[in-house]
Structure 1
Amino acid sequence: MDVQGLIQRWTDYLMSPQLWDKIGSATLEITLILIVSAIVVPLVKSIIARVFKLRRKTPLRGNDRRDTTILKLLQNIVVYLVYFSAIVGILSSMGIQVAGLLAGAGVAGLAIGFGAQSLVKDVITGFFIIFEDQFGVGDYIKLTGGEGTVVEIGLRTTKIQGPTGEQYIIPNGGITNVTNYSVNNTNATIDLDVPVNADIETVQSVIQEYLNTLPQTHEELVRAPQFIGVVNFNSTEATVRITYETLPRQSGPIGRVIRRDVISIFAGFGFIATDSDEGEES
Structure 2
Amino acid sequence: MRLFFCFLALTMSTLSWSATEPAEPEVNKETVTDLIATLENESERQALVEKLKIMIDAQPEAEVPFIATLFDIDAQAPGLMAELTDLIRSYGLPESFMGDLITFSVTVLLVLLGLFLNGALSKFLDRRLNLIRHSLSWDDKRFSSIFRIQRWAGYVVSLILIGYASWHLIASSMGKEELEGPGSLLSAVLTIALVGMVFSMIWEGVNALLESMIEKHERLNSSRFQTITPIIRNILMIALTIMSLMVILSELGINIMPLLAGAGVLGIAIGFGAQTLVKDFLTGLTVVFEDLLQIGDVVKIGDKFGLVEKITLRKVQLRDLDGTVHTVPFGDVTIVSNLTKEFSYYIFEVGVAYRENVDEVISVLKELDEVFREDEAYASRVLAPLEVLGLDRFDDSAVVIKARYKTQSHERWNVGREFNRRIKAAFDERNIEIPFPHQTIYFGEDKQGSAPNANVRLMREQATDEQAP
Q: Is the 8 A contact 2:277 2:314 kept in 1?
A: no
Alpha-carbon distance between aligned partners in 2 of 1:16 and 1:97, rounded to the nearest angstrom: 30
2:345 corresponds to which residue? 186
Alpha-carbon distance between aligned partners in 2 of 1:114 and 1:16, rounded to the nearest angstrom: 55
Alpha-carbon distance between aligned partners in 1 of 2:355 and 2:333, rounded to the nearest angstrom: 53
Alignment length (residue pairs): 255
How far 1:110 sits from its partner (Å)? 4.7
Gaps of 5+ in 1: 1-14, 278-282
Greater helix content: 2
Is residue 2:314 matched to residue 1:157?
yes
Alpha-carbon distance between aligned partners in 1 of 2:201 and 2:406, rounded to the nearest angstrom: 45
Is residue 2:423 matched to residue 1:262?
yes
Residues 132-181 of structure 1: per-residue CA shift (max 9 Å, x gap)? 33333333222248332333443x31322221444444433332233332
The 1:272–1:205 alpha-carbon spacing in structure 2 relative to 1, beyond 3 Å, is closer
How far 1:21 sits from its partner (Å)? 7.6
The 1:97–1:70 alpha-carbon spacing in structure 2 relative to 1, beyond 3 Å, is same
Superposed, which structure 2 residues align to 1:128-207 within 5 Å?
Answer: 128-144=286-302, 146-154=304-312, 156-163=313-320, 164-183=322-341, 185-191=344-350, 193=352, 205=363, 207=365
Alpha-carbon distance between aligned partners in 2 of 1:145 and 1:198, rounded to the nearest angstrom: 38
Alpha-carbon distance between aligned partners in 2 of 1:18 and 1:119, rounded to the nearest angstrom: 51
How far 1:81 sits from its partner (Å)? 1.9
TM-score by length of 1: 0.65
The 1:261–1:132 alpha-carbon spacing in structure 2 relative to 1, beyond 3 Å, is same
The 1:91–1:275 alpha-carbon spacing in structure 2 relative to 1, beyond 3 Å, is farther
Higher relative contact order (CA 8 A, sep 6+): 1
Alpha-carbon distance between aligned partners in 2 of 1:160 and 1:265, rounded to the nearest angstrom: 41
The 1:106–1:242 alpha-carbon spacing in structure 2 relative to 1, beyond 3 Å, is closer
Alpha-carbon distance between aligned partners in 2 of 1:199 and 1:176, rounded to the nearest angstrom: 45
Alignment equivalent of 2:403, drawn from 243, 250, 257: 243
2:246 corresponds to which residue? 88
Alpha-carbon distance between aligned partners in 2 of 1:108 and 1:175, rounded to the nearest angstrom: 28
Gaps of 5+ in 2: 1-176, 438-469
2:441 corresponds to which residue? none
The 1:111–1:243 alpha-carbon spacing in structure 2 relative to 1, beyond 3 Å, is closer
Q: Is the 8 A contact 2:295 2:308 kept in 1?
A: yes
Q: Is the 8 A contact 1:144 1:177 kept in 2?
A: yes
**Amino acid of the residue matched to residue 420 of structure 2?**
R
Alpha-carbon distance between aligned partners in 1 of 2:240 and 2:412, rounded to the nearest angstrom: 44
Superposed, which structure 2 residues align to 1:1-282 within 5 Å?
Answer: 17=179, 41=203, 44-56=206-218, 64-92=222-250, 94-144=252-302, 146-154=304-312, 156-163=313-320, 164-183=322-341, 185-191=344-350, 193=352, 205=363, 207-216=365-374, 217-226=378-387, 228=390, 241=401, 243-247=403-407, 248=409, 250-269=411-430, 271=431
Alpha-carbon distance between aligned partners in 1 of 2:199 and 2:264, rounded to the nearest angstrom: 27
Q: Is the 8 A contact 2:315 2:330 kept in 1?
A: yes
The 1:135–1:101 alpha-carbon spacing in structure 2 relative to 1, beyond 3 Å, is same
Q: Is the 8 A contact 1:232 1:238 kept in 2?
A: yes
1:9 corresponds to which residue? none
Alpha-carbon distance between aligned partners in 1 of 2:421 and 2:203, rounded to the nearest angstrom: 52
Larger Cα-atom Rg: 2
Alpha-carbon distance between aligned partners in 2 of 1:202 and 1:107, rounded to the nearest angstrom: 75
